[in-house]
Amino acid sequence: MHFQDSLPKLPIPKLADSMRQFLYFAEPLVSPEELSAARDAAAAFESGVGPHLQQQLIAADSERYSSFISKPWFDLYLKDRASLLLGYNPQLTLRDEPPARGASQPARAARLVHSALTFLRTIEAGVLEPDVFHTNPRRSKHPLWPEVMRLLPRKVAFYGAAVTGAYPLDMSQYANLFRSTRVPHAERDELVTARGSRHIVVQRGGRFFSIDVMDAEGNTYTLPQLQGAMQAVIEAADAPKAGGEGGEGVGVLTTLPRDEWAALRGSLAEDERNARTLQAIDSAIFAVCLDASSPEEMGDINRCMLHGKGTDRWLDKSFQLIVTANAKAAINFEHAWGDGVAVLRFATEVVERSDSLPAVTAAGSAPLEELVWHLRPPGEAAVADAAKRFDATIASTDLSFFRTDCLSARFLKQHKLSPDGMMQMAFQLAHVRMHGHSVSTYESASTAAFKHGRTETIRSATPESAAFAAAFCDPSSSPSDREAAMRAAVKNHSRITRDALTGKGVDRHLFALRALALSEGGPLPTLFESNAYATLAKIIISTSTLQSDALSGGGFGPVNSDCYAVGYSMRDDECGAMVMSHHRDAAGFVGCIEEAMRDMRAAIKHSHRVTVANDLRHRFRSGLPRKPGRHAAQLADRPVVGVHGRGHELLDRQVSGNHGGGPPGDAWGRLLARACVQVRWR
């Protein structure tokens, strides 16, 4: 945490800039009449109450070393009365262990728990390596760099790092990673963090067990002991329960809307036995779910890790490690306390350390006890009702996914295109083809480069993306026109991404101004009541990506009934996405995304062929070499892609050429002729 005291503050954008951006992002989403009304509302806001609210925001921000968005953002999460199920708690699927390891459920759970505790101990010892974005690794990853940084006073350490091209990130969220729970209350929940607890809570078959994972001196129990404890939980939970208290499945209550859950939790806590169990769960270092299922297919894995059957989850915990019977694993985390950047670092280090731990034989067990619930008939009825509502919510969703090598990070970088921008444009084109219009789109950008930074919205739907989609939907547009529109949209997406990452976005600024206006108690300014603002606020395509070799996937649920939730990834050799919706034909949307990618690939390949063919023509007219050179060989050897939207794996074909025989230049002539068939000379 050496750099925490010198991180820069998140800048507050200028009011005029946010008004301009508001209108810019609204343009492709609303009618001309609605856009005109939005312009009038923005002008009235900028000349009326807007400057007053802006000055209030600046004054409040100047009083504390934090982010202007931090408090209202916590309030946004904690005051929301909606269920945490699907829309709030995402999951990150961890990569499988090496097949040779033959991992079992208790063995993998033990290794992950042991590795997570190692991460906790590095935090508590103050030796967790800082999160740093390196722009010049040759300087900032030099062995002496950490020593030099350590010598700098904490108040200026950030600036010393920046001189070397290294930019430290905010690490305040790690304080809520362990021993943390979102406790439901009427109107506003509370984030509660315990101190000094040494146990975790393990769930299986709707039952809860407390396992001590650290001894009185703070040392982690051995791997064989942890594995023995996991095996003991499985055996106890799977055996018929002989008498005693009931209460199986209480975890499903955490999927209810927050006010309902708060009232039920209060009723449960009236019984001293339940109060002790709730306290044990709240204070646990984290939760583990030993799921009895064995999912293999991507969609089944995502559903298991995102929601399971509801009874073996406690959505209020900061995070849950989920391990299935076939040793698949994931992290499901509550979102109010933190964002994906902190969880991704944690997941990456836990997986890497877990893979380095040896396979052991269970020996004994860490101390464990089953937690007791005592439910009266109203409580039993509440659990049964929550389970029915859970089932109905899950049944209301459809899920689809894809993986393809049609577009890959390596391929796109070779053609000087942003992989993320291309993925986002594929989503835009897919929606326009499926529904006929552009919609409000969310992509998460981290503002961890600033003190207490959270996220900003990258609004992928722009006038440039709309022009790109229109070009690809117009049968009369030429391949060159399509490619130009695509490159313009992707370049623009890189621009708005930079703005979001560097504190120049619009969403959080408008959100903070609206929160201030509400706090004054008067009527909301017309800007926030406009159709344009409402259209932007309702997210129809919600997207997020986290890239790490430690992950094999991830996903989250739709945030409203019209939303497509798209968790996507882009790797060197492939890309993929998991799409969930409330029966808005997720499979159809996935099909449109894949079609969009094939057409976009075709535009790239067409441009490449034009470039090569023009080079050949120049060589032909300037005097040909005796044998085909490098570019001719590339044209002969590289696959050629059609431009009509069919699968690239079917349309790629070899352009053959005679590299020998005949008079000098014949090979060039044949290759040039073949190129002329494939391209339109301009």
Task: Find tokens 């050799």 and name the residue.
Answer: 573
Q: CA 8, 10, 12, 14 torsion: positive or negative?
A: positive
Task: Give the separation between CA 369 and CA 209, rounded to whole angstroms.
Answer: 6
The one-character DSSP state at 476 is T
Task: Give the separation between CA 500 and CA 259, rounded to whole angstroms.
Answer: 34
CA angle 397, 337, 287 (to 5 degrees): 70
Task: Report yes or no: 357 and 223 within 8 Å, Cβ to Cβ.
Answer: yes
Task: Give the separation between CA 366 and CA 216, rounded to whole angstroms.
Answer: 13
Structure tokens of 123? 């935090």
Distance, CA of 628 to chain centre = 48
Task: Find tokens 């003991």 and name the residue.
Answer: 232
Task: Give the separation between CA 37 and CA 20, rounded to whole angstroms.
Answer: 14
Task: Report yes or no: 371 and 211 within 8 Å, Cβ to Cβ.
Answer: no
Task: Find tokens 């919205």 and name the residue.
Answer: 457
- Long-range CB pairs of 649-658 (<8 Å, 24+ gap) are 649/405, 649/406, 651/602, 657/628, 657/632
State phi, psi for 276 to the nearest 5 degrees. -65, -40
Structure tokens of 111? 């290794």
Task: Give the separation between CA 622 and CA 618, rounded to whole angstroms.
Answer: 6
β partners of residue 578:
401, 567
Distance, CA of 59 to chain centre = 33
Task: Report yes or no: 182 and 462 within 8 Å, Cβ to Cβ.
Answer: no
Task: Report yes or no: 636 and 659 within 8 Å, Cβ to Cβ.
Answer: yes
Task: Give the separation between CA 428 and CA 624, rounded to whole angstroms.
Answer: 45
Task: Find tokens 């590795």 and name the residue.
Answer: 115
69 Cβ contact list (under 8 Å, min separation 6): 10, 447, 453, 454, 508, 511, 512
Residue positions annotated with a catalytic role: 335
Task: Report yes or no: 315 and 280 within 8 Å, Cβ to Cβ.
Answer: no
State phi, psi for 224 to the nearest 5 degrees. -60, -35
β partners of residue 442:
542
Task: Give the separation between CA 92 and CA 546, rounded to whole angstroms.
Answer: 9
Task: Give the separation between CA 518 and CA 589, rounded to whole angstroms.
Answer: 38
144 Cβ contact list (under 8 Å, min separation 6): none
Q: CA 405, 409, 410, 412 torsion: positive or negative?
A: positive
273 Cβ contact list (under 8 Å, min separation 6): 245, 372, 373, 374
Task: Give the separation between CA 52 and CA 464, rounded to whole angstroms.
Answer: 33
Q: How many helices (H) and strands (E) does the chain have?
A: 25, 20
